[in-house]
Amino acid sequence: MNGDSDGTRVPGLAEAFEPERLDGHTIEELGEYLDAGRSPHDASIEDSPGCRIALDALRRLRERSWEMLAAQAGRDAGREQGWIAAVLANISREARAGRDVPLGSGLPDTRLEVTEGAIRGLVRAAGDSAGGGLVGRVRLVGDVTVPGAPVRVEVAASAAWPEPLHPLAQRMRARILDQLARHSELNVTAVDVTIEDIHAGDEAEPGASR
Amino acid sequence: MDEAQSLARRASDRLLAERAADGDVDAFTALVRRHGGIVRAYAVKVLGSPDAADDVVQDTFVRAWERLDELRDPSAVRAWLMRIASNRAIELLRARKPEAELPEHDAPATARPGPADAVEAGMVADDLSQALRRLPARQRECWLLAQFGGLSYAEIAAQLGIPATTVRGQLARARRTLIGEMEAWR
């Protein structure tokens, strides 16, 4: 295959990697250059037509490779997905439990505790319920294991476009404070909500349609 | 719609990974569904057949759950999953084929009729898949681990028990061969 439609002879791809066509470069170097995102810019490569042809071929191979994998995944999509249930059955929910957070029981010799993981879940649910965004990372900063110790709650969130960001952050903050006051005994000194990302909006409010 | 599906429709990889690292099983489930197909397809390529691919995928996600707090860049969770899958698939491959049976890295490939061919027979022909199967095993492994696993030469070298310079050469050969075959498809 050594011609294109206007009759100009272009090297076949198999020839494109002959050393003499690469102006002193090797396919190893070009592969590494492409893998590094063609950065920093290398003029001796970018100004060489032979190298450009080879880089283009390498790039197309890369794209074609991911298409191959996606096509395989597509063919498999109809298969029985029992392995997913097996994964979920095999994960330990306790792995992400974190510290034990005391709840007062009012009874002598009785300790009630809830896990930090459960508190994070509470914060996520509260933030999500504000509508217009989704909670991401939650951090409880302070010694949550000591009753009454000051705790700051740090929340990262994603806003549903085109939700106004500041009101969303305020709403989330209010919901989180409210739920923590109702369902924990943490001494929450601050709830910091940072909107770090935006995602495509949705007609339905989160949690509205189940 | 369940919570995992609701999240999956809207949430980015980064958000899902952050929530999963905090213990959100629904977010983790969404990640499993979103990336499981690609991880499995990769495992099939590395193993050469679908046989143990489900085991690799299952092990990959169970390990991922345990190690989520090691994930430094939550937005790169797919690449991280592919890396874990690489390790698991190569472990399985090594367990099947003791070192003594591994072909010399320049040995010519023979056509390998096997379960993968039977599975693919009724499906749309994928020329790159076929070209990949025709590569010598060592070149194929280096290429798969670099292309999809995102491993460095040093990491591939450690996985396969060969020098990094050999990995570099094998990868270049594989790419050259595969590109040469691409020409035939145009």
> Distance between CA atoms of B145 and B151, rounded to whole angstroms?
6
Partners of residue A88 in chain B, C-beta under 8 Å: 25, 29, 32
Query: Searching chain B, which residue's CA lies closest to the CA of residue A26?
Result: B172
Residues of A in contact with B47 (CB under 8 A): none
Q: Which of A69, A75, A135 sits opposite B148 (nearest CB)?
A: A69
CA A25 from chain centre, in angstroms, equals: 37
**pLDDT tens-digit map of A46-66:** 999 999 999 999 999 999 999
Between chains, do B21 and A137 touch, taking CB under 8 Å as contact?
A: yes
Q: Model confidence at B180, in pLDDT bands (50, 70, 90)?
A: confident
Split at pLDDT 50, 70, 90, the class of B50 is confident
As a residue count, chain A comes to 210
Tell me whether residues B183 and A14 touch, CB distance under 8 A: yes
* Whether ipTM exceeds 0.95: no
CB–CB contact A31 B37 (8 Å) = no
Read off the pLDDT of each residue in A143-155 and give the average, rounded to a whole number.
95
Give me the percent of chain B exceeding a pLDDT of 70: 82
Residue to test with chain A: of B175, B181, B182, B185, most A Cβ within 10 A: B175
Which of B23, B38, B183 lies closest to A117 in CB terms? B23
pLDDT at B56 over 90: yes
Neighbouring C-beta atoms of residue B36, cutoff 10 Å = 23
Task: Flag whether the pTM goes above 0.90.
Answer: no
Instruction: Please state which of the ranges A35-39, A204-208, B172-176 shows the lowest mean pLDDT.
Output: A204-208
State whether residue B3 is helix, strand or coil. helix
Task: Give residue B130's identity as a one-letter amino acid code.
Answer: Q
State residue A30's pLDDT score. 94
The stretch A113-132 carries a mean pLDDT of 95
Q: What is the pLDDT of residue A75?
A: 82
Size of interface A-B (CB pairs under 8 A): 152
Q: Which DSSP symbol is given to B62?
A: H
Whole-number pLDDT of residue B140: 96
Would strands A112-115 and A133-141 be described as parallel, antiparallel, or unpaired?
Answer: unpaired
Residue in B143, B97, B77, B138 with CA at minimum distance from that of residue A31: B143
Among residues 139-198 of chain A, which lie with CB inside 8 Å of chain B? 156, 158, 160, 197
pLDDT per position as a tens digit, A68-100: 999 988 888 777 677 888 899 998 877 788 899
Please tell me the least confidently modeled range out of A11-20, B18-27, B176-185: A11-20
H and E: helices and strands count for chain B: 10, 0
pLDDT at A95: 75
- B150 neighbourhood in chain A, CB within 8 Å: none
Find residues 9-48 of chain A whose CB sits inside 8 Å of chain B: 12-14, 16-17, 26-28, 31, 35
Are residues A69 and B124, on separate chains, in Cβ contact within 8 Å? no
Neighbours of A39 (CB within 10 A): 7
Mean pLDDT of chain A: 87
Amino acid occupying residue A106: G
Q: Is A118 exposed, middle or buried (0-12, 13-18, 19+ CB in 10 A)?
A: middle
**Whether A134 contacts A128, CB under 8 Å:** yes
Q: What is the pLDDT of residues A168-203, one digit of tens each?
A: 999 999 999 999 999 999 999 999 999 999 998 865
CA gap B135, B130 in Å, rounded:
9
